Structures are given as structure tokens and as C-alpha cells.
Amino acid sequence: DQQVKQNSPSLSVQEGRISILNCDYTNSMFDYFLWYKKYPAEGPTFLISISSIKDKNEDGRFTVFLNKSAKHLSLHIVPSQPGDSAVYFCAATPRNYGQNFVFGPGTRLSVLP
């Protein structure tokens, strides 16, 4: 039973264009969401997060949107750069931070020059 889903295993985008990565979740107890970026043979690095009290959080080229009623969030990267090519994981956790993160399966983003 996958509580966090990333239905697109891969995505290819032209350099300079927008990359949109999607994530859906099923557990209504999830209250805090994060995006991690991972290069091969390296640990994930934190990218951006959003709390359920917000519907948008922006950090430079990265913006995360949260639609709580639809249990859907998305990560927008504008403009996309070749260095953004990586696997992106969506993660969710309940407000009780003693709980673990639940990770989605990841989306491999390829930004083509």
C-alpha cells in the first residue's frame, strides 16, 4: 500500500523550460512534505519543504505547491538546468515529528541541453 506516489518514473525537459514533478499521497494525517534530490551513488539532499498550513513555498528556482483537498503536491523548477538532472523523491510525515518520513518511489528528471 503506497502512501506516497510519484506516478511518473521519469521526465525529460529541455534546458530553460519548466520541470513539473508530481506527488500524490493517501494518508490524511500527513502534514509536512519535503522534496529531496538524489544523484547516483550519493545520499539525498534536501531541496524544499511545505507545511500543510501553506499552499505554496518558493525558494529560488524551486516552488512547491500543495493542494491538500486533492492530496497532491508538485515541484516546479524554472528554468530547468542540466545540473538538475537527478532523481527527485517526495516525502511526507505527520505533524508528530517523531514519525518517520514516507518516501515516494522517485522521478528521474533529465534536463536536456
Distance from C-alpha of 93 to C-alpha of 113, rounded to nearest angstrom: 35
The only residue of 77, 93, 109, 111 in contact with another protein, by rule CB under 8 A: 93
Cis link prior to 40 (omega < 30° from 0)? Answer: no
End-to-end CA distance of the chain: 37
Rank residues 16 and 39 by Cβ distance to another protein and give the closer one.
39
DSSP H or E segment with residue 101: none
Give the total of residues touching another protein (CB under 8 A). 20
The only residue of 13, 21, 23, 34 in contact with another protein, by rule CB under 8 A: 34
Binding site for another protein (CB under 8 A): 32, 34, 36, 41-46, 49, 89, 93, 97-98, 100-101, 103-106
